[in-house]
Amino acid sequence: MKDSKLHILAKSFPNEPGVYQFFDIDNKIIYIGKAKDLKKRVSSYFTKNHESKKTRILVGNIWKIEKIVVDTEMDALLLENNLIKKYQPKYNILLKDDKSYPWVCIVKDPIPNIFYTRKIENRRGEYYGPFTNVYSAKFLIKLIKDIYPFLNHELNHLIKKETEETIKIKFSDNIKSIRYLIKGNFKKSISDLKLKMNSLSKNLEYEKAQDIKEKIDILKNYQAKSTIVNAKISNVDVFALVSDESYAYINYLQISYGAVIRSFTLEVKKKLEETDVEILRLAIIDLKQRFSSESKEVIVPFEINLPKSIKLTVPKSGDKKKLVELSERNAKFYRIDKLKQTRIIDPEAHINRILLQVKKDLQLDEKPFHIECFDNSNLGGTNPVASCVVFKNGKPSKKDYRQFKIRDIHGPDDFASMEQVIYRRLKRLSDEKQPLPNLIIVDGGKGQLSSGLKSIKKLELENDITIIGIAKKLEEIFKPGDKLPLYIDKKSETLKLIQQLRNEAHRFAINFHRDRRSKSALKSGIDDLKGVGPILKEKILNKYKSFKRLKSASEKDLIAFLGNSRGQSIFNQLKNLF
C-alpha cells in the first residue's frame, strides 16, 4: 500500500532535471539523488526488480519523497553534492568526501588576473561558479585569455608585450564583458568584437579582422554547462508563491555562495479571501523560524511588510531575479504534482476543483455541471450544418452530442444559424423534460452570442441558463451585455476547458459538413449518369460515399460490383468526365 502511494507520487513528478530526497519513517533523509528526468528516475525505484540488496533495502525504508527542480542536469549534480555534504544520508556513499568544486576568480590588484580555485576568499577577488569540473573552469579561462590576451601573464612574460599599467587599463575597459562571459552572457563581448572587426576591415587590416572573427566564432560555439550565479550572493533566503482559488504554494530556497543548499515548499489551504501578499508574509516568518534561518536578506517577487531587521529585495533583473524565477518554478511544479496526485487518487475532487474555478472566473451562480457548446459549419452557404457537444462533470458525454442540418436559411448566415440551432436544441430538451445545461458556449463573438441569447429569451430561459461566446482570434470570452471581454488568465484551467469544448464542437461540425458535402457531390454526380435509377443510385451511395471515390474506382471493381454491362457503361461515362 505504501509503495503504491509513493509510485503515484513519483508519476506526478515533472520530466525535468532535479534532485530527489528519500525520507524514512522518522522523517530523516536516507538518500539523495540527481536525475535528468525526475519522473522516470524516481518511478524506476517502484517499477523495477532491483538486483542490488542495498537498493531493495533502501526502497523498503522509503516513507516520503521530496524533490527540487533545477534548470540543467549539471545544476542537479551541484545541488546533489551540496545536499549530500550537508545531510550525509545513510545510503549515499559516492559524494560524502570533502571534495569541493572549482570556482573562477577575478583579481583586480595588484595585477589583474583570472584563475580557478577550490577555496573562496572573498577579500581576494570576485568568485563565480561553482563549476562541475576543473576542465569546464580551465576551458572558460582559456577562452577569456584568448579573447583578452592581456590576462595571459605567461605569454606576456615571454613576449614582454604588456606592462602592468597597460594591463590595468585594458582590464578596466573590458571588465564588464569578462564578467558577462563568465556568467555565460556573450552578447556584450560579441558586440564589442564585431565593432573591432568592422573597424579593422574598413582599415584594410584583414588578418587582424580574421583573428577577431575567429574569436567571435569561439564565443558563439561555446555553451555554458550550468547556470552560474555570482558567489557573492551568499546567505540569502529566496521565496516565491503560486496560488489558485483554494491553495497557495510557497517555495523557499536557502542560498549560500550562489548554490542552493535547501529547498522546501509549503502548502497553505485558504480559509478566507487571503491575498498573496498576506500569505507570503506569514509563510516567510514561519519558514525562517522553522529552519532557524539567520539570513538578513530575503529575495521575493513583490513588495511585502517584514520586520525592519530583514533586508527585502525585489529584483527586476540579474542573478537575483533568476533565483526568484527558480523558486517560482519549484512552487509551480509542486502544485502540478499535487493536482496530478488528486486527479489519480480522487478524480471527483479534481473535477470539482476545476468547476469551482470556472464558476469563479465566469461569475456564475452555480458550478456548471452540464455545459453545451455550439458551432456552425458551411462553405459559401452550401450544406450548412451545426453541432452541439455536451460535457457533464467536466468530461465529454458523447451519447448526448447532436448534429443539425440548418433549415430555410439561404447563404452563409452564422447569426441566423446559431439562433435556429440553439432554439431547436433547447425546445427539444424542454418538450421532453430533459435537464437543461447550466452553461452554453457559442463559437464566435458578440454577434453569435446575441443570436443565441435571442433563442434563450424566446423560450423564457434566461434565468435558468448562462450563455457566453469565445471569439477565435484573441480567445476572448464575452458575456451578454458586456462591451468588454471578460479577463481570464490564458493559462487557466477555465480557459482550457472552454477551448476543449469549442475545439470539440468545431471538429464535430466540420466532420458532419464534409460528410454532407461529399454525399451531395455524389448524388449530383450520379444524377448525370445514364441508366441509373433510384434503387441503383442508393446502392452506389452506400458503397462509395463520395463522388471522388466513385470516379477513382477501377473498371474491374465496378464490373464486380454492378455486373458486366452496367459496370462497363458507368466506367466509360465516368472516364469521359475527366
Q: Residue ranges of the domains in the chain?
A: 2-69+76-87, 103-229, 233-343, 363-515, 528-577
**pLDDT band at residue 310, thresholds of 50, 70 and 90?**
confident
Which CATH superfamily includes the segment(s) 2-69+76-87? Answer: GIY-YIG endonuclease (3.40.1440.10)
Examine the pLDDT at 57 and tell me if it is beyond 70.
yes
Q: What is the pLDDT of residue 99?
A: 53
Nearest residue to 327 via CA among 415, 254, 434, 228: 254
Examine the pLDDT at 573 and tell me if it is beyond 50.
yes
Q: What is the pLDDT of residue 221?
A: 66
CATH class (in words) of the domain with range 233-343: alpha beta
Nearest residue to 472 via CA among 437, 446, 439, 493: 446
The letter for the amino acid at 374 is: F
Q: Which residue has the higher pLDDT, 381 or 264?
A: 264
Q: What is the pLDDT of residue 428?
A: 92
| Residues whose CB falls within 8 Å of the CB of residue 241, separated by 6 or more in sequence, listed in order | 248, 249, 250, 251, 276, 279, 280, 283, 301, 328, 331
Q: What is the mean pLDDT of residues 535-551?
A: 73
- The region of weakest confidence among 222-226, 321-325, 519-523 is 222-226
366 by DSSP, 3-state: which? coil
Q: What is the pLDDT of residue 353?
A: 81
Torsions phi, psi of 111, nearest 5?
-120, 130
pLDDT digits (tens, 9 = 90+) for 365-389: 888 999 999 988 765 455 678 888 9
379 by DSSP, 3-state: which? strand
| Residues whose CB falls within 8 Å of the CB of residue 382, separated by 6 or more in sequence, listed in order | 517, 520
Q: What is the pLDDT of residue 303?
A: 92
H or E segment and range at residue 16: none
Q: What is the mean pLDDT of residues 255-271?
A: 77
C-alpha 230/C-alpha 182 separation (Å) is 10
**pLDDT band at residue 427, thresholds of 50, 70 and 90?**
very high
Q: Do 385 and 377 meet the contact criterion of CB atoms below 8 Å apart?
A: yes
Which CATH superfamily includes the segment(s) 363-515? Answer: UvrC, RNAse H endonuclease domain (3.30.420.340)
- Angle (CA) 541-545-550 rounded to 5° is 85
Cα 165 to Cα 157, 162, 190, 511: the distances in Å are 14, 8, 26, 78
Residue 324: count other Cβ atoms within 10 Å of its Cβ: 21
Q: What is the mean pLDDT of residues 12-17?
A: 92
534, exposed or middle or buried, with CB in 10 Å at 0-12, 13-18, 19+?
exposed
In the block, residue with C-alpha cell 577562452: 143
pLDDT digits (tens, 9 = 90+) for 219-245: 766 543 434 466 678 889 999 999 877
Q: Do 251 and 330 meet the contact criterion of CB atoms below 8 Å apart?
A: yes
Q: Do 371 and 438 meet the contact criterion of CB atoms below 8 Å apart?
A: yes
Nearest residue to 502 via CA among 478, 466, 475: 475
- The region of weakest confidence among 431-435, 458-462, 472-476 is 472-476
In the block, residue with C-alpha cell 423560450: 459
pTM tops 0.85: no
Q: Which residue has the higher pLDDT, 187 or 504?
A: 504
Residue 84: count other Cβ atoms within 10 Å of its Cβ: 22
Q: Which residue has the higher pLDDT, 77 or 271?
A: 77
Nearest residue to 130 via CA among 97, 95, 102: 102
Q: What is the pLDDT of residue 225?
A: 40
| Residues whose CB falls within 8 Å of the CB of residue 10, separated by 6 or more in sequence, listed in order | 39, 42, 43, 45, 46, 65
Mean pLDDT score across all residues of the chain: 81
C-alpha 148/C-alpha 168 separation (Å) is 12
Q: What is the pLDDT of residue 95?
A: 39
Q: What is the pLDDT of residue 178?
A: 83
Q: What is the mean pLDDT of residues 106-114?
A: 86
Cα Dmax for the chain: 106
C-alpha 91/C-alpha 88 separation (Å) is 9
Q: What is the pLDDT of residue 313?
A: 93
Q: Do 329 and 69 meet the contact criterion of CB atoms below 8 Å apart?
A: yes
Q: Which three cell numbers stand for residue 193?
A: 568584437
The letter for the amino acid at 224 is: A
Q: 119: which strand partners?
A: none
Q: What is the mean pLDDT of residues 447-469?
A: 91
C-alpha 21/C-alpha 66 separation (Å) is 5
Instruction: For the chain, give the percent of residues with pLDDT over 70.
Output: 85
C-alpha 332/C-alpha 208 separation (Å) is 50
Q: What is the pLDDT of residue 373?
A: 92
Q: What is the mean pLDDT of residues 197-224?
A: 80
- The region of weakest confidence among 2-11, 94-103, 370-379 is 94-103
Q: Does 233-343 match 363-515 in CATH topology?
A: yes
**pLDDT band at residue 299, thresholds of 50, 70 and 90?**
very high
Q: 106: which strand partners?
A: 114, 126
Q: What is the mean pLDDT of residues 73-90?
A: 79
Q: What is the pLDDT of residue 314?
A: 95
pLDDT digits (tens, 9 = 90+) for 121-177: 877 888 876 665 677 678 788 888 887 888 887 666 656 677 778 888 888 888 888
Angle, to 10 degrees, between the axis of helix 414-431 and the axis of helix 446-458? 30
Q: Do 193 and 215 meet the contact criterion of CB atoms below 8 Å apart?
A: yes
pLDDT digits (tens, 9 = 90+) for 325-381: 989 999 998 888 888 887 777 778 778 888 888 888 888 888 899 999 998 876 545
Nearest residue to 533 via CA among 566, 575, 485: 566
- Angle (CA) 509-512-517 rounded to 5° is 120
Q: What is the pLDDT of residue 543?
A: 79
How many CA within 13 A on the CB side of residue 112? 22
